[in-house]
Amino acid sequence: MENKGRLKGHSTPVLSTALNQDGSHLASGASNAVVRIFDLASLVCSHSLSLPVAPSSEHQLGTNNHDHNFIEGDNEDQDIASLAWRNSHSLLAAVGCHLIHVDLRANPHSTPVRIFTANDCIADIALNPLNDAYISLADDTGSLSILDIRRLPTTTPPPKLFKSLSAAHSNMASACAYDPRPESNPWHVWSAGFDYTLQRWDTSNGCQVECIDLSSTTAAATSDVHEQGQIQSINPPFVYSLALSARSSRIAAGLGNGAVALLRRGAGVVPAGAKKKKTRPCVLDAVMPGVHAWSCTAVQFWDPDRVMGVGGAATETDNVGSDEVVVTGGLDGRVNVIGFTVGLLDENSVPAVKGTWNVERKVDSMICLGQGEAKSGRSVRIAVAGCPTAKTRDPAVFGAIDLWDIPV
């Protein structure tokens, strides 16, 4: 593992990051409602924006508010929990219970606009790669909100609430994601929650397609780890993080007890005698306990067949058939790489952790930036954000984002 630099500028911990479509810029959101955008070629901050903040008790759907006054501190109303690029100049941010839009073409006078207010703090924003007219929001009430954003960057009138899936989860909804494969159903969205479940929803009619409860299988796997004397988190198996592969049918879920669940969508069998045509269900391939000693807060697939040069455009490689990997990050300050061969994983073969690295931060956000610069073998460059594991009073360290090249 090799350190490749540090992105500086935030004075409070960074909670979320998002890479733009061409891989040239990284957006970061901190716990004081400040967004910074970094040029990855120069590692210089090109934009710094203070987003509008209001108490979460102000639930006025679609209201705009340009009051940028706030006090720095530990306040969830200022937490930027999620960021998403709609295109190279349109950025969406979840600040407390509010969804904020920034049109970067107006720089240096970009004015963040509040375009939607959820019932509680927004945990995640999911863009639909197959239908960019819609996005999904997961919030702390366990609900999913589907918004029609076709009018953006025009914010008057604000985006229309297309569908509200109230209490989709019985506890907080922590993550949501659309299937990026071209052959997938563009109306289906996946969600994860603190009720230990992964769920798939048809947003065209608001119906649940399937629900996978990870609590029982995770408990069994954790019991095996305890019997072997391995270190294991005592946290419940809340589903903290979620990723869907664009290359295969695989799903990865990071759990609160440090385990990682690996599933395949559409790999199950439709029950015999079903009267209606049903979607083939998901199959749970493996629950890997003890991947992290604390909550697994970030999971992401890295596709070596389509790599993106850091600071440059996407390029194709000739490594067709190479292994797909999952990169995970946790509150234990570590990053892991899980490897398996696409299409060859079955019930008798278990994926393996190929490497573990100490990144010196309790990982709140981790994102793969592209191919690393390893002298031998393959590597991936990652950006890691979160509180340092070592005590420090230096704000430049506290709010920094570290870049690492890790072998895969």
What would you report as the CA-atom Rg of the chain, rounded to the nearest whole angstrom? Answer: 20
d(CA 5, CA 173): 34
57-61, 178-182, 211-215: least confident range: 57-61
92, pLDDT greater than 90: yes
Extract the tokens encoding 337: 């790489």
64, pLDDT greater than 80: no
Extract the tokens encoding 33: 């409602």
Q: Mean pLDDT throughout 192-203? A: 96
Question: CA nearest 206: which of 143, 249, 267?
Answer: 143
How high is the pLDDT of residue 341? 63
Task: Tell me, rounded to whole angstroms, the distance of Cα 194 from its chain centroid.
Answer: 15
406, pLDDT greater than 60: yes
Quickly count: other Cβ atoms within 10 Å of residue 171's Cβ: 17
pTM given for the model:
0.86
CB neighbour class for 255 (10 Å; exposed up to 12, middle 13-18, buried from 19): buried
Quickly count: other Cβ atoms within 10 Å of residue 108's Cβ: 7
The answer to whether 15 and 79 are in contact (CB under 8 A) is yes
How high is the pLDDT of residue 277? 59
- The pLDDT mean for the chain works out to 83
Residue 171: band (very low, low, confident or very high) from pLDDT cuts 50, 70, 90: very high
Which has more pLDDT, 350 or 264?
Answer: 264
Which has more pLDDT, 391 or 82?
Answer: 82
The answer to whether 264 and 250 are in contact (CB under 8 A) is yes
At 211-268, the pLDDT tens digits run: 999 987 655 454 444 444 444 556 789 999 999 999 889 999 999 999 999 999 887 7
Q: Mean pLDDT throughout 173-186? A: 94
Which has more pLDDT, 48 or 307?
Answer: 48
The answer to whether 133 and 86 are in contact (CB under 8 A) is no
Extract the tokens encoding 395: 């704000």
Residue 392: band (very low, low, confident or very high) from pLDDT cuts 50, 70, 90: confident
Q: What percent of the chain has pLDDT over 90?
A: 61
d(CA 91, CA 81): 14
d(CA 324, CA 341): 6
Question: CA nearest 152: which of 93, 101, 94?
Answer: 101
Q: Mean pLDDT throughout 342-366? A: 79
Three-class secondary structure assignment of the chain: CEEEEEECCCCCCEEEEEECCCCCEEEEEECCCEEEEEECCCCEEEEEEECCCCCCCCCCCCCCCCCCCCCCCCCCCCCEEEEEEEECCEEEEEECCEEEEEEHHHCCCCCCEEEEECCCCEEEEEECCCCCCEEEEEECCCCEEEEECCCCCCCCCCCEEEEEECCCCCCCEEEEEECCCCCCCCCEEEEEECCCEEEEEECCCCEEEEEEECHHHHHHHHHHHHHCCCCCCCCCCCEEEEEECCCCCEEEEEECCCCEEEEECCCCCCCCCCCCCCCCCCEEEEEECCCCCCCEEEEEEECCCEEEECCCCEEECCCCCCCEEEEEEECCCEEEEEEECCCCCCCCCCCEEEEEEECCECCCEEEEEEECCCCCCCEEEEEEECCECCCCCCHHHHCCEEEEEEEC
At 286-319, the pLDDT tens digits run: 999 999 999 999 999 997 655 444 444 444 443 3
Strands 334-340 and 324-330: antiparallel
Tokens 């720095």 -> residue: 72
63, pLDDT greater than 80: no
377, pLDDT greater than 50: yes
How high is the pLDDT of residue 217? 66
The answer to whether 218 and 289 are in contact (CB under 8 A) is yes
Which has more pLDDT, 144 or 77?
Answer: 144
Specify whether the backbone of 74 is left (phi greater than 0), alpha (psi in -120 to 50) or beta.
beta
Residue 193: band (very low, low, confident or very high) from pLDDT cuts 50, 70, 90: very high
How high is the pLDDT of residue 186? 94
How high is the pLDDT of residue 218? 56
d(CA 145, CA 247): 27
d(CA 105, CA 108): 8
124, pLDDT greater than 70: yes
Quickly count: other Cβ atoms within 10 Å of residue 167's Cβ: 12
347, pLDDT greater than 50: no
Q: What percent of the chain has pLDDT over 70?
A: 80
Residue 135: band (very low, low, confident or very high) from pLDDT cuts 50, 70, 90: very high
Which has more pLDDT, 347 or 27?
Answer: 27
At 66-78, the pLDDT tens digits run: 333 333 444 668 9
Question: CA nearest 396: which of 89, 100, 11?
Answer: 11
Phi/psi for 293 (5° steps) reads -85, -5
182, pLDDT greater than 70: yes
How high is the pLDDT of residue 172? 96
363, pLDDT greater than 80: yes
